[in-house]
Structure 1
Amino acid sequence: MRARTRVLGSVRARWRVLVRLGLWSVLEAGQTFLIGYALARALDDGFLAGDARAGLLWLGAAGLAVGAGAYGTGRVYGVVAALVEPVRDRLVASVVGRGVREADAGALSRLTQQVEIARDTLAGLVLVSRSFLFTASGALIGLFSLAPLLLTVVVPPLLAGLCLFAATLRPLARRQEAFLAADEALAEDLGAVCPGLRDVTAAGAEARVAAGVAESIDAEQRAARALARWSVARVAALAVGGELPVVLLLATAPWLLGHGVTPGALVGALAYVTQSLLPALQNLVHGLGTSGSRLTVVLRRLAPPTASGVRRPQNRNNSLRATGTPPPGAPALALTSVTFAYGLAREPVLDGLDLSVPAGAHLAVVGPSGIGKSTLAGLVAGLLEAREGVIRVYGHAVPGPEAAASRVLIPQEAYVHGGTLAENLGLFRRDPVPEAELLAAAEAVGLTPLLRALGGPGGRVDPGALSAGERQLIALTRAYLSPAPLALLDEATCHLDPAAEARAERAFAARPGGTLVVVAHRISSARRAGRVLVLDGPRTACGTHDELLRTSALYRDLVGGWTAEPTAPVR
């Protein structure tokens, strides 16, 4: 509904363009009126009356009207472009913003196909609706001018055909939405499969992956067939509204001629129906029946999720709330018998892992290189899918939109884009972040010196001119401002000095309602955490720092091998 409202608002705001469209349409519709009226006068007042000169003059007037109408048609297309292109630009901006904020898996299909469908169908809808309105008006005025009795023959079947067509719009829209949903699912599957073809082959999973993609293809084919079957209703509407009037005019011709309708008027009426009303109705049925339903469906799918789907989280005064309502007492993070391996024939990196992190807790994950720390973060973030077991974030299953809205991942290589610093920091927020809140977050995380150096929140950011540590500070502050209560730091402070790292971690640990999971690369990170998870294969253990020193040989070795690094400026 929101996308549809935006489109309608954008169209209404360009009322001057609508006025120009109407004026050129009137010129275009002039030929509709004259094509039947001039033909009737040419016959009645010219050729049938023995005045060939008058007949030729009326035919010449009809020819001039056709030329003027063609000029008007050419101008109409330019006006429609001026009306539609700004709408497309707004939809592109909305889809890109949503995709960046929410890591929307369907953004590719929306951007490459559905936005273009919206642009093309909106243009088609404007053209066919305008054409039918002005053409039908010109034809009906012409019929009335020739003989009002002609309207009693032409109008009833025309209205019946329009009503029959209108009755098909809602079921047609439902089948159009099913088709677009199937297409979006197929695009998402292919987007996941194509980059990983080498891994699929290496793991011997070709048959399994092909079967999954085949299901998506079959689903799209079924939706396309169901959509195509409704073309029968469109043919029936055309037959009743556009072709039945021709039959009725011919069948009632003796009666019409006996009630004062002239032969020229009857021929003009046939011209109005066959040359104007029938083509206009064909364009309306095929254009509106396809374009109208597609536009309605596409705008609904381009709209942000609402209460019927995924609710957008909001952050007010730095108060954090997860999307959806977690079950009472649900932990911030829960893993049950989670097993993951990179390939079916590979040894599991995680094997039957159980873990529960209460809301508001601070957990550090440690272990030797390659043991699965980043794999664990990727599983919780939904970037990887467990072979077995269940992962829940605040009671919501991973992967899933509610879980995605409840956690934010900060990787080692921080992403920073061009634009202002405020735009970078508010990337995970739907609305602009109030400056006071932004400054408070920058102070808490330790970004204030860089913020001042860049000229404040409105300062422009050049990603190539920033150091790795500065990029990490921006990414950390962005995540701090995120409405997601669970923060996953996957070595996200590795380019910061120990003091800056400590400040950032303490800020996240103190976030109201926030939960922190840190993949640690310094002993100081583990010491600051309330609990530590030591990944050690079958000897994986979880406990406090002191407990693990007593019970975990690997942890004692890691602590003994860790050395505090000297404090240095942020790199």
Structure 2
Amino acid sequence: MKSLTGAPAEGPRPARLIATLAGAVRAHPRAAAALAFWSVWEAAPQALFGLAVARAVDAFSADRPGRAAAWLGVLAAAALVGAFGTRRLYRPLAGIVEPFRDDLVHRVTRGAVHRSLRGRAETGAVARLTHQVEIVRDAFGGLLVVLRGFAVAAAGAFAGLLALMPWMLVLVVPPLLLGLALFAALLGTAAARQRELIVGEEGIAERTSALAEGLRDVTACGGEERVRAALGREVDAQAAAGRAVARMAAARALAVAVGGWLPLLLILVAAPWLLRHGATPGTILGGLTYVLHGLQPALHTLVQGMGAGGLRLAVTLARIMETGGPDDPPAALSAPSGATDASVGADAPAVELRSVTFAYGPGAEPVIRDLTLTIPQGDHLAVVGPSGIGKSTLASLIAGVVTPDEGRVRVGGAPPGDPRRRVLIPQEAYVFTGSLRDNIAYLCPDAADDAVGRAADAVGLTTLAQRLGGLGGRVDPAALSAGERQLIALARAHLAPMPLLVLDEAGCHLDPTAEARAEEALARRPGTLVVIAHRISSALRARRVLVLDGTRARLGTHAELLADSPLYRDLVGHWITGPSRHPAGGDVRASRPPRRSGWRAPGYGPRSCG
């Protein structure tokens, strides 16, 4: 079978999938710790159930009803403790599962955009985004519940059996392990059958979408029968895959019989021997209780959950990972916590491009061609050039919004796109209905009010904040001007903890004074600043300037580029004949040209965002 990418279909890679899911749990240690803590509470009735039954039966046999009632009361109290623990489990469970779902949506969307930019129809992404992501979300949550429930039941039963009579563990543990091993041996075949079902679902989604778009052409060409036959074959194959998945349920029943029912039979067969070696009737009944009401239901739930939801999770997650963006795995989908790229670290450049080429679609002329660029940590770089030359495309490459056709992009030594590493502020600022504080703190929701206020003051948002009624004032995006929306976005960037800011003409709707104040505030902020310049004054404020001219790129200080770049001199509007050379790293502001009233460099109008 071929996958929709044209590559041979492969089964899920267990090690990678397990690492992915484990990484999703480790990414939220507080939620994982809370889940484990309340699971211990939930285990109380499991540990005491058989022991209380055994002691109560022996007490009744000895005509001591008060003692028996006390043990049953202990069991009732343990049940209340367990119920309390179960009630508290769902919040930490959601704290693990929901961020994982968000990471999956991010990956599916990036993969679809990546392939669409290369001219490939991406209708299969609809099935992944609307159906498969929800399968993974629900199955991952269910898997955590099932695994945790089995661990709780097994730990409680083993502790209780040990307290009752250690010999019973010999009768219970080996067949339980045998049943688990048998089930594990079936997983490979079951996963292959489940994958066929998932990939077939995508194939039908793509074929029906194409059929809907070309239905008139099919009818006009008289191709109804041929199309019906082709679609029918895929539907039949999907039905066969569904039946194959259903047949695996019978095999799972065998694992439950060995691991869940065989211990019960062994205890009954060994009962006379146990009685001769100190067991009481209550001990036998207590052991049966641990197996019948603890281990056997937990094993049945584990096998059914792993055999159905777990397989769907593994296969669907593998499919999403195969079709996601090539260089940008979300945080929970990357290597487990602690396992990072060797090049990631404080010594890595803030941004590094190596021989990068990018074009919008196959056959199109590259917008960026063979660009190599290194931006060190803490740099302030302005990117200038005529409109349409590729400045915004460069910003998108750095931010990971698009992927290069050739070459490599790294941000802090890692693939771009991780929202924890960078902030991209585009021309059209995103502002939502809510308080001004919520808008500014969107990327740093835990920020204190005084920090939010300092960010607003730094970029010149004070007047707007006062008009709205302070940080708690309501923001109505439709009632704000484009410049006011940009100021809010710039304040958001100032407050954000990310080490790299990329401004893609983010102040083009501001007047020059307001834009200068915001940019200078962002330059003082710790980290690296890349400004896609709308006005040439942004280049005068920057430490270094990158000039894009369509055939080559030149990098240097303002003074160096005035000397060496005719295009830059044209943009600045000040021709210099025989200039003296300025040493790299000198004070670029010392060599600013005199301002010309009313002059505009090509593509740099005072209110244009081109």
TM-score by length of 2: 0.53
What one-letter code is carried by the residue in structure 1 that aligns with 2:52?
A: A
Q: What residue is the counterpart of 1:231 in the other structure?
A: 249
Measured against aligned partners, the alpha-carbon deviations of 1:179-206 in whole angstroms (never above 9, x if no partner) come to 1111111111122222333443344332
Question: For 1:13-62, what per-residue CA distance to the aligned partner results, in whole angstroms no more than 9, with x for missing partners?
Answer: 21111111111111111101111000111111x21111111111111211
Residues 1:7 and 1:269: Cα distance change in structure 2 (over 3 Å): closer
Match of 2:258 in 1: 240
Q: Distance in 2 between matches of 1:419 and 1:123?
A: 39
Specify which of 177, 184, 201 is matched with residue 183 of structure 1: 201
Correspondence for 1:256: 274
- After superposition, the Cα gap between the structure-2 partners of 1:262 and 1:434, relative to the gap in structure 1 and judged at 3 Å, is closer
CA distance, structure 1, for counterparts of residue 235 and residue 287 of structure 2: 49
Is residue 84 of structure 1 aligned with residue 84 of structure 2?
no
- Structure 1 counterpart SS, 2:88: helix
Unaligned 5+ runs, structure 2: 1-12, 117-121, 329-351, 367-387, 413-426, 429-482, 491-500, 508-547, 554-604
1:20 aligns with 2:38: no
Q: 1:49 aligns with which of 50, 62, 69?
A: 62
Q: Is the 8 A contact 2:111 2:326 kept in 1?
A: no
Amino acid at match of 1:25: S
Stretches (4+) displaced over 6 A? 1-4, 309-312, 418-421, 430-435, 453-456, 506-511
Structure 1 contact 4–299 (Cα < 8 Å) conserved: no
Letter in 2 for 1:31: P
> 8 Å contact 1:422–1:458 — kept in the other structure?
no
* 8 Å CA contact retained: 1:153, 1:248: yes
Matched, 1:73 2:86: yes
Select the residue among 61, 64, 69 that pairs with 2:74.
61
After TM superposition, the structure 1 stretch with the greater mean CA deviation from structure 2, 35-44 or 453-462, is 453-462
Opposite residue 299 of structure 2, the aligned amino acid is L
The partner residue of 1:289 within 291, 307, 318 is 307
Distance 1:460 1:123, change over 3 A: farther
- Kindly tell me the number of residue pairs found equivalent between the two proteins: 367
How far residue 426 of structure 1 moved from its aligned partner, in angstroms, is 5.8
CA distance in 2, matches of 1:4, 1:109: 24
Supply the distance in 2 between the matched residues of 1:209 and 1:424 (Cα, whole angstroms): 44
Which residue in the other structure is 1:99 paired with?
A: 112
User: In the alignment, residue 429 of structure 1 is paired with which amino acid?
Assistant: T
| Partner secondary structure for residue 429 of structure 1 | coil
Q: Tell me the alpha carbon deviations over residues 319-349 of structure 1, each in whole angstroms, 9 at most, x when there is no partner.
A: 4499xxxxxxxxx98xxxxxxxxxxxxxxxx
d(CA) in 1 for partners of 2:326 and 2:111? Answer: 13
Secondary structure in 2 matching 1:71: helix
The match for 1:211 is: 229
Tell me how far apart the structure 1 counterparts of residues 401 and 265 of structure 2 sit (CA, whole Å): 63
CA contact (8 A) 2:35 2:89 kept: yes
**Shift in alpha-carbon separation, 1:287–1:50, aligned structure 2, 3 A:** same
Instruction: Give the direction of change, closer, same or farther, for the CA distance of 1:90–1:100 in structure 2 (3 Å limit).
Output: same
1:47 corresponds to which letter in structure 2?
F
Residue in structure 2 matching 1:277, options 295, 301, 305: 295
Partner residue of 2:51?
Answer: 37
1:428 alignment partner in structure 2: 402
- Root mean square deviation of aligned Cα: 4.2
Q: Say whether residues 1:117 and 2:135 are aligned partners.
A: yes
* Aligned-partner Cα distance in 1 for 2:244–2:187: 14
Q: Equivalents in 2 of 1:257, 1:95: separation in Å?
A: 61
In structure 2, what is the equivalent of residue 458 of structure 1? 503
Question: Residue 213 and residue 424 in structure 1: after superposition, are their counterparts in 2 closer, same or farther (change >3 A)?
Answer: farther
| Whole-angstrom CA distance in 2 between matches of 1:251 and 1:296 | 40
Alignment of 1:253-402 (within 5 A): 253-304=271-322, 316-320=353-357
After TM superposition, list the pairs within 5 Å mapping 1:480-519 onto structure 2: none
Partner Cα distance (1:291, 1:174) in 2:
14
Partner in structure 1 of residue 152 of structure 2: 134
CA contact (8 A) 2:256 2:299 kept: yes
| Equivalent position amino acid for 2:402 in 1 | F
Structure 2: distance between partners of 1:434 and 1:275: 54
Change (3 A) 1:276 1:433: closer
Question: What is the CA distance between 1:177 and its match in structure 2?
Answer: 1.3
Q: Deviations over 1:440-476 (max 9, x none)?
A: xxxxxxxxx99xx9999524779xxxxxxxxxxxxxx
8 Å CA contact 1:39–1:268 kept in 2: the answer is yes
| Local SS of the residue matching 1:458 | strand
Instruction: Mark the runs of 5 or more structure 1 residues left unpaired by the alignment.
Output: 323-331, 334-356, 361-413, 436-448, 463-505, 512-568
Q: Is residue 30–residue 138 contact of structure 1 (8 Å, CA) maintained in 2?
A: yes
Give the TM-score, by structure 1 length: 0.57
Change (3 A) 1:460 1:9: farther
Rounded Cα–Cα distance in structure 1 between residues aligned with 2:132 and 2:323: 16
Per-residue CA shift, 1:221-252, capped at 9, x if unaligned? Answer: 12112222111221000011111111222222
Identity %: 40
Secondary structure at the residue paired with 1:303? Answer: helix
Distance 1:426 1:255 in 2: 69
Change (3 A) 1:224 1:24: same
